[in-house]
């Protein structure tokens, strides 16, 4: 663009974008005059303004159609207006407020009864896909990592201890621990209670795998003081109570949850490009790299990215709507979809889900009562 567009051109462009999102058809000046402006603006005036918008790179003319469709730059400007309006502190229009409240209520209902980081992220991908015409993505810490909320030990029999571990996400793990009769002393109920109190006092809110690593470090520093903990730690390690799948020194790759890939099959893309696009969605590390390239976990805003082909050529023509989230560590939630989507709903859904996960993670809300 060589010059800013006028207020009237912005109104016309917004009407074109919204018409194209709704119908998927090229928009003509006559159609706009009747449907968007109720003949308050003549078709000739709109046609002239559309010609200038086309010269400015905001509109494209597919084939020989008399109508025009928005360019990527037009979508970018339209989304910029939406996000600016959403960030404003003033009251929303009644219809937008009603729509947003209904959307949030639907999301709350979708998360009711879901507990555990893995289940929450999996549900996130499904919810975002169902609310959009794109793919729902959720990326978080490995499924084996969680945050300690409480641990309790009970003496069952000689050298037999019941351990119950509760994570902040609501997961409960219980194991019967067998103390080694050759190396471990018998532990009384008081000693077990003391050990549990120590763990709950010093490690509540810690990543569970970090608890084991830190315990090992402290015991190495002072074997005598931590002898009782050492006996329990050995039994806990043997029972895999801390981590069901991965040892503490393993490199844990983020978990990736994807839903709604079928939504992309209707895109007007060539077979080779569609195959490359689907291949990227199958390669989870490429999705992680894609989100990491555009998500800043130190900020909380929802970001809309149009130039995905700079990061991955197979993503040309798609839009990423993403936000950082917190659920047992740094996470991200996103919608990956075509340019023609309901941006108002998609941006609102991604932002609200990210905030909901953060409230669940910090104990400000539960999935059953958001």
Q: Does residue 64 lie within any of the structural domains?
A: yes
Per-residue pLDDT band for 34 (boundaries 50, 70, 90) equals confident
Residue 47: domain span = 7-70
Most confident listed range (99-108, 166-175, 299-308): 99-108
The per-residue pLDDT for 182 is: 61
Q: Does residue 81 lie within any of the structural domains?
A: no
Q: Are residues 157 and 105 in the same domain?
A: no
Type and span of the H or E element at 138 = strand 135-140
The per-residue pLDDT for 109 is: 93
CA 107 to CA 120: how far, in whole Å? Answer: 12
Q: Which of 42, 70, 98 is the last residue of a domain?
A: 70
Nearest CA to 82 among 300, 340, 302?
302
Q: Does residue 370 lie within any of the structural domains?
A: no
Residue 82 has pLDDT above 90, yes or no: no
Query: Length of the chain in residues, anyone?
Result: 370
Residue with tokens 């009384």: 188
CA 57 to CA 74: how far, in whole Å? Answer: 8
Q: Are residues 64 and 93 in the same domain?
A: no
Residue 189 has pLDDT above 90, yes or no: no
Residue 40 has pLDDT above 90, yes or no: no
CA 18 to CA 255: how far, in whole Å? Answer: 36
Residue 353 has pLDDT above 90, yes or no: yes
Residue with tokens 């471990």: 184
Q: Are residues 267 and 330 in the same domain?
A: yes
Model's pTM, two decimal places? 0.67
Range of weakest confidence among 98-112, 191-205, 257-271, 314-328:
257-271
Most confident listed range (38-42, 54-58, 223-227, 263-267): 54-58
For residues 145 and 233, the model is more confident at 233
What is the rounded average pLDDT of the residues 59-80? Answer: 85
Q: What is the domain-level CATH number for residue 353?
A: 3.30.450.40
Q: Are residues 132 and 266 in the same domain?
A: yes
Q: Are residues 259 and 130 in the same domain?
A: yes
The per-residue pLDDT for 146 is: 62
The per-residue pLDDT for 16 is: 93
Per-residue pLDDT band for 157 (boundaries 50, 70, 90) equals confident
Q: Are residues 63 and 153 in the same domain?
A: no
The per-residue pLDDT for 158 is: 81
Six-digit token string for 352: 């609200």
Q: Per residue in 268-277, pLDDT tens?
A: 766 777 778 8
- Contact status, residue 138 vs residue 124, Cβ threshold 8 Å: yes
Q: What is the domain-level CATH number for residue 60?
A: 1.10.10.10
Class of residue 38 by CB neighbours under 10 A (exposed 0-12, middle 13-18, buried 19+): exposed
- Contact status, residue 68 vs residue 16, Cβ threshold 8 Å: yes
Q: Are residues 107 and 130 in the same domain?
A: yes
Per-residue pLDDT band for 261 (boundaries 50, 70, 90) equals confident
The per-residue pLDDT for 156 is: 82
Q: Does residue 33 lie within any of the structural domains?
A: yes
CB-CB neighbours of 353 under 10 Å = 28
Beta bridge partners of 164: 152, 174
Q: Per residue in 218-257, pLDDT tens?
A: 766 665 555 556 666 665 655 555 543 333 333 456 778 8
Q: Which of 200, 216, 239 is the last residue of a domain?
A: 239
For residues 222 and 61, the model is more confident at 61
Vertex 358, ends 354 and 359: CA angle to 5°?
120
Q: Are residues 152 and 133 in the same domain?
A: no
Secondary structure of 219-275 in the HEC alphabet?
Answer: HHHCCCCCHHHHHHHHHHHHHCCCCCCCCCCCCCCCEEEEECHHHHCCCCCCHHHHH
The per-residue pLDDT for 316 is: 84
Class of residue 155 by CB neighbours under 10 A (exposed 0-12, middle 13-18, buried 19+): middle
Q: Are residues 136 and 265 in the same domain?
A: yes
Per-residue pLDDT band for 1 (boundaries 50, 70, 90) equals very low
Phi, psi angles (nearest 5°) of residue 259: -145, 145
The per-residue pLDDT for 234 is: 62
Q: Does residue 245 lie within any of the structural domains?
A: no
What is the rounded average pLDDT of the residues 280-307? Answer: 81
Most confident listed range (59-68, 74-83, 259-268): 74-83
Per-residue pLDDT band for 350 (boundaries 50, 70, 90) equals very high
- Looking at the 3D structure of the chain, how many domains does it have? 3
The per-residue pLDDT for 355 is: 92
What is the rounded average pLDDT of the residues 279-303? Answer: 80
Q: Are residues 202 and 235 in the same domain?
A: yes
Q: Across the chain, what does the average pLDDT equal?
A: 79
């Amino acid at each position: 663009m060589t010059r800013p567009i006028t207020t009237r051109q912005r109104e016309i462009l917004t009407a074109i974008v919204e018409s194209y999102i709704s119908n998927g058809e090229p928009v003509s000046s006559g159609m706009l005059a009747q449907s968007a402006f109720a003949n308050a603006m003549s078709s000739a005036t709109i046609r002239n303004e559309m010609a200038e918008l086309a010269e400015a790179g905001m509109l494209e003319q597919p084939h020989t159609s008399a109508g025009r469709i928005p360019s990527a730059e037009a979508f970018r400007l339209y989304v910029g207006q939406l996000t600016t309006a959403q960030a404003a502190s003033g009251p929303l229009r009644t219809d937008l407020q009603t729509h947003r409240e209904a959307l949030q209520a639907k999301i709350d209902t979708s998360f009711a009864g879901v507990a555990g980081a893995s289940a929450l992220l999996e549900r996130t991908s499904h919810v975002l896909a169902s609310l959009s015409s794109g793919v729902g993505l959720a990326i978080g810490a490995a499924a084996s990592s969680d945050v300690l909320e409480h641990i309790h030990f009970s003496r069952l029999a000689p050298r037999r201890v019941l351990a119950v571990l509760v994570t902040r996400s609501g997961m409960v793990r219980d194991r019967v621990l067998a103390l080694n009769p050759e190396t471990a002393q018998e532990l009384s109920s008081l000693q077990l209670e003391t050990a549990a109190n120590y763990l709950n006092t010093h490690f509540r809110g810690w990543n569970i795998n970090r608890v084991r690593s830190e315990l090992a470090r402290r015991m190495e520093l002072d074997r005598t003081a931590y002898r009782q903990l050492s006996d329990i730690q050995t039994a806990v390690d043997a029972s895999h109570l801390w981590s069901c799948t991965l040892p503490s020194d393993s490199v844990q790759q983020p978990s990736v949850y994807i839903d709604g890939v079928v939504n992309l099959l209707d895109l007007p893309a060539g077979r080779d490009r569609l195959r490359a696009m689907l291949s990227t969605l199958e390669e989870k590390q490429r999705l992680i790299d894609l989100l990491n390239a555009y998500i800043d976990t130190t900020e909380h805003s929802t970001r809309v990215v149009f130039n995905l082909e700079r990061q991955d050529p197979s993503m040309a023509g798609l839009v990423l709507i993403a936000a950082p989230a917190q659920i047992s560590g740094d996470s991200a939630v996103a919608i990956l979809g075509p340019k023609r989507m309901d941006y108002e709903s998609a941006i609102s859904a991604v932002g609200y889900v990210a905030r909901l996960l953060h409230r669940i993670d910090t104990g400000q809300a539960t999935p059953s009562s958001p």
